[in-house]
Amino acid sequence: MAKPAVLLARAVFPEILQLLQEHFDLRHNQADEAWTPQQLAARLQGCTGAFTTGSERIDAALLDACPQLKVCANMAVGFNNFDLKAMTAHGVLGTNTPDVLTETTADFGFALLMATARRISESEHFLRAGRWDRWRYDMFAGAEVHGTTLGILGMGRIGQGIARRGAHGFGMKVVYHNRSRLPPELEADCRATYVGKDELLRTADHLVLVLPYSAESHHAMGAAELALMKPTATLVNIARGGIVDDAALAAALRDKRIAAAGLDVFEGEPKVHPDLLQVPNVVLTPHIASATITTRMAMARLAADNLIGFLVHGKPLTPLNPEVLGGS
């Protein structure tokens, strides 16, 4: 019996490549070439499955061009690269990789908060440029973290992890806003208080964004929202590009309407808004919040297991649109 044809759209760990080759007629991209949507569609011809990352857009146009496609397994917890409505209409299953990256991403979110508040990148650039020649009482004096108010916009698993780190590790008062309030036992575990969005923005000393991207959350942090924040506050985005209006944020940083920002995600990434590159009070990292070897391997393994589970055993592990399964 012929093996199902699967496209591996990006480079991946050799162990995962070998695993996929055991089960599928695999077309891979270990050279990690960047493909246009047309090139992706061409390489998907004849494939019933695809191993994707957030870089590959799966939309109606691609699905129309690839009628044999049955499943796309994303190596990410986010799936804004999937037009899930179109995928469901075409009978194509989408899967993601929840849970395996929660704690690692929460670690990074808090690390980025610390680097932003304490001006670590800014001071390192100063030192590397050979400009450090004496001590000053106010040299790179940043914002206090311990005992301050931590605001979290989006209180899923990662948001809860950040809340626990702030509350239990740094004695922070935690406030949050979410589409729905957490159960009392989870609020107690996180020592977190639910507030309205405007109150969250006004009261947070450090605001962390961990909400999923959607049409509704596009520019959830724009000029009006930034204007509500304290001039001493910091903002950290480890969610998705597009949740923050990067141009408005750059202007707020330039004009010191907020103190600093830490960004791991950007609108139109890997491009970065040029104004963000011109302000010193921002820490910039290239979408690496989940980047430990252990976690990225677990993400890749779960994506592979979703393909194997669906195409070989008929049981994907983490389906995003399980209604497709009911109709199969």
Cα-based torsion angle of the residue sequence 33, 37, 40, 44 in order, rounded to the nearest 10 degrees: 170
| Torsions phi, psi for 188 (to 5 deg) | -65, -40
Is 240 one of the catalytic residues?
Answer: yes
Query: Which position among 28, 103, 157, 269 bears the catalytic label?
Result: 269
Count of C-beta atoms within a 10 Å radius of residue 50: 26
Tokens of 233: 């506050």
Is 269 one of the catalytic residues?
Answer: yes
Query: Which position among 43, 240, 273, 301 bears the catalytic label?
Result: 240
Sheet holding 25-27, edge to edge: 25-27, 5-8, 49-52, 71-74, 93-95
Query: How far apart (Å, rounded) are the C-alpha atoms in residues 295 and 299?
Result: 6
Is 122 one of the catalytic residues?
Answer: no
> Side chain identity at 180, as an amino acid letter?
S
Tokens of 325: 């399964």
DSSP, res 58: B
Q: Where are the beta strands (DSSP E) in 35-194?
A: 49-52, 71-74, 93-95, 149-153, 173-177, 192-194
Q: Residue for token digits 């004496």?
A: 134
Query: How far apart (Å, rounded) are the C-alpha atoms in residues 43 and 59?
Result: 15
Catalytic residues: 240, 269, 287
